[in-house]
Chain A
């Protein structure tokens, strides 16, 4: 597994420690295929609230046969590191054309992918919860260290 895939795995799993994390993760079952411009691809499988990160290509045909099971996430390892570090917001990166999702509209016959609906806000929420949980954990450690 590439370094960025491993870092992202640790990061995104932190979302499950957030009080809202398990419920949010259970919202959809989906494979998110990350295609990176500067590193090896990896994919995230989310099933019934359980998340796994795997290296490489999921093998799913996102264009036709498996379009209702997978969404491609176009990004870079550099961007993901910035997001994880809290220096970039994913939604800003989308408007900066450093992040893209394809196909772009129907997640399946009953739900959307983009701002109109579901999958993209869902991913954003998991990332936001992971960030919040990381901040919460580090603050708790800081308070403990202070002895307050």
Chain B
């Protein structure tokens, strides 16, 4: 795949970011990102990364962050470039096509190496540590503390269902330790299903029907990837440091068959002209139907087969993925009852009884609403309602933070979604 770069489509803009940084909940979210995710300490040197591919308005977030960090006693350096990891084929953030071995400019590599903590607000900040070799090396080999974020963890929280001009504070400030507990409770069921070699099934009203199996060691993520705070150990990465976008599911599958019906694809630039049906066989895309977008998808993966890298569901009961009754196709999968599938990822994996790759070009084929997810015979999520939220152990845990009825009440899906 040849690499070409341009300003990508974004789900947020300067106006929505302005509302975010101007709100009390937005500033508290930014502060928590620095303290709870970044674990910043006075005297440290912080480095902030930005590129022109990031959404308009990201500078507003950075301005706030610089002020907060300096107030906390850190030294701050901001580096800005045109495209740190170029987005290929008109793709949007979340697509890492053709950049798995893209090398960072040496000055940037050395600057990251020299910093104590790095906040990466470039367009591809989140995910770079998995899908680009230099960021992987900096994070995993050199153990650098890199907090890779887009300007916000999940764009769907930039609006409230009752007020489109106000960020969704309930979702952003949902108790992190309660999200961790919900994730762990879901994982218990996923582990049990994998350990007894039973099958998972995922469906949604658009026609998706996928059946898959996995090894217990391929269940992810512990505690839904929500940050643990405080913590002192050094071996943690970006995807175990989120604030409110909790996700649970599986990484590579041992078997995966069925269809995924979507209206959105990060590799194809976002919203599709018509729904496409993607057929999966043996964990790889085996075909796609649905007009020119389906053909283009198949053309783009013709050189390298695209295999399942992860199938994950959102767990935040307050992260409403619709606005004015309309499903936000470009949501980031934070909300309970939503699931996404990630295709391709660098490295080799044990799957289908042998070691092999799943294609190095990472992209996503959309977040699906109103999912149902079965783990063996047990339904974890039914018609978009996360049943784990009513688990007695979770309700008991929720009492530490407030009224369980209110905290665990999931948004109601509009009938038309």
Contact = CB atoms under 8 A, between A and B. Distances in A.
A and B physically associate: yes
Interface of A: 27, 62-64, 67-68, 71-72, 74, 89-92, 94-95, 97, 100, 102-107, 109-122, 124-125, 128
Nearest to B350: A102
B217 A115 contact: no
B67 to A, nearest CB: 30
Contact of B237 (A64, A97, A109, A116): A116
15 contacts: A64-B195, A64-B215, A68-B216, A72-B350, A94-B346, A104-B349, A104-B350, A105-B218, A109-B187, A112-B240, A115-B140, A116-B220, A118-B233, A118-B235, A128-B142
Interface of B: 100-101, 129-130, 133, 136-137, 139-143, 184, 187-188, 191, 195, 197, 215-223, 225, 233-240, 251-252, 346-350, 355, 357, 360
Nearest to B220: A105
Contacts of A68: 216-217
Given A89-B137, A91-B141, A95-B347, A106 B218 contact: yes
Contact of A89 (B141, B219, B234, B236): B141
Contact of A105 (B129, B141, B217): B217
A89 B136 CA distance: 11
A114 B234 CA distance: 14
Nearest to A120: B140
Contacts of B219: 105-106
Contacts of A104: 217-218, 251-252, 347, 349-350
B218 A115 contact: no
A72 B239 CA distance: 22
Contacts of B215: 63-64, 67, 103
Nearest to A124: B141
**Centre residue among A92, A106, A109 by max chain B CB count within 10 A:** A106
**Centre residue among B139, B219, B239, B350 by max chain A CB count within 10 A:** B350
B348 A100 contact: yes
A97 B197 CA distance: 28
A11 to B, nearest CB: 16
A56 B348 CA distance: 23
Contact of A116 (B133, B137, B142, B240): B240
Contacts of B195: 64
Nearest to A24: B234
Nearest to A102: B350
Given A68-B216, A97-B357, A105-B217, 10 more contacts: A27-B233, A63-B215, A102-B349, A104-B252, A105-B252, A107-B217, A115-B237, A116-B225, A116-B238, A117-B236
A128 B221 CA distance: 26
B216 A64 contact: yes
Contacts of B216: 64, 67-68, 103, 106
Contact of B348 (A97, A107, A120): A97
Contacts of B235: 27, 117-119, 121-122, 125
B225 A100 contact: no
A62 B346 contact: no
A105 B251 CA distance: 7
Contact of B347 (A97, A106, A110, A125): A97
Contacts of A63: 215, 217
A121 B355 contact: no
A67 B197 CA distance: 13
Given A74-B348, A102-B355, A110 B136 contact: no
A91 B136 contact: yes
Contacts of B101: 95
B220 A92 contact: no
Contact of B136 (A94, A102, A111): A94
A13 to B, nearest CB: 20
Given A62-B217, A103-B216, A105-B221, A115 B350 contact: no
A116 to B, nearest CB: 4
A64 to B, nearest CB: 6
Contact of B355 (A74, A110, A111): A74
**Centre residue among B136, B143, B220, B235 by max chain A CB count within 10 A:** B235
Given A116-B225, A116-B237, A121 B357 contact: no
A107 B219 CA distance: 9
B100 A95 contact: yes
A112 B220 contact: yes
A140 B140 CA distance: 28
